[in-house]
Amino acid sequence: MTYSANQAMNVFWENELLDKWLALCAGISVKGNSQYHYDLFKRLVYYYNQPGRYYRTLDHIRYCLVKLDEVRELVPNPYIVELAIWFHNAIYKVWADDNEEGSADLAIFFITKLMGLDTLFAMRVGYLVKNSAYFKNSPKIHITRDAEFFLDIDLSWIGDTEDVFDRNNINVKREFDWMDPGELRIKQIVMFDFFLKREPFYLTEYFLDKYKAQARVNIERAIRELTQQSAS
């Protein structure tokens, strides 16, 4: 998919996501009127329309919001998790190691300065965004229930249907097209092997019951295919 085609897909998802954003703004009493809320939406969408994005797109945000809706009644603070979903991939440079920190800073700025909400509320969102990569790599540490649901939602595609997994896996790979193909395959094998051995794979009962079995099937298949490609 070319960048222009990827942009077109983002525009497609914008129409669906706008309603969710406006409902969120109304639900948490964001300052200003609906036009102002729309302007905020366009400012945030700008980040997801940057070139080089294939996985970290509005489609991923849409997917995560759908998963949140499945468990909203189980999440202690659903608005905090919802905002974390909106902002968690806003800042992304493929070679950078501070994307989560940048996204968290943007979230806190947006929520306090532009949305007019409480600083403590914003910091709780920033906490989820900033530490998301660390939490994924350290599943046994004690984290909040909100963080558990946020992480499970973000990784739920790994345990989704074969088609959903393959589409996301291809898109993740495309964001690393600048790497040597052999080195990229090794990186992918190491990543999938880590997830295969990750215990617990999902942190909440809902996602464990619904996605863990298929996640193992998807990961084992991906490792087999990558290993075969490396041997050929």
Q: What is the DSSP letter of 112?
A: I
pLDDT tens-place string over residues 118-136:
999 999 999 999 988 877 7
- Give the Cα separation of 103 and 44 in Å (integer): 11
Q: Note the pLDDT of residue 9.
A: 61
Q: Domain residue spans in the chain? A: 3-231
3-state secondary structure at position 143: coil
Residue with tokens 């997917």: 63
Closest CA to 168 of 120, 127, 218: 218
Structure tokens at 149: 């649901």
In terms of DSSP H, where are the helices of the chain? 3-27, 34-48, 58-71, 78-87, 99-109, 119-130, 132-137, 145-155, 162-174, 181-197, 205-231
- Give the Cα separation of 1 and 73 in Å (integer): 37
Structure tokens at 195: 């997830």
pLDDT tens-place string over residues 154-213:
999 999 999 999 999 999 999 998 899 999 999 999 999 999 998 889 999 999 999 999
Average pLDDT over residues 101-115: 97
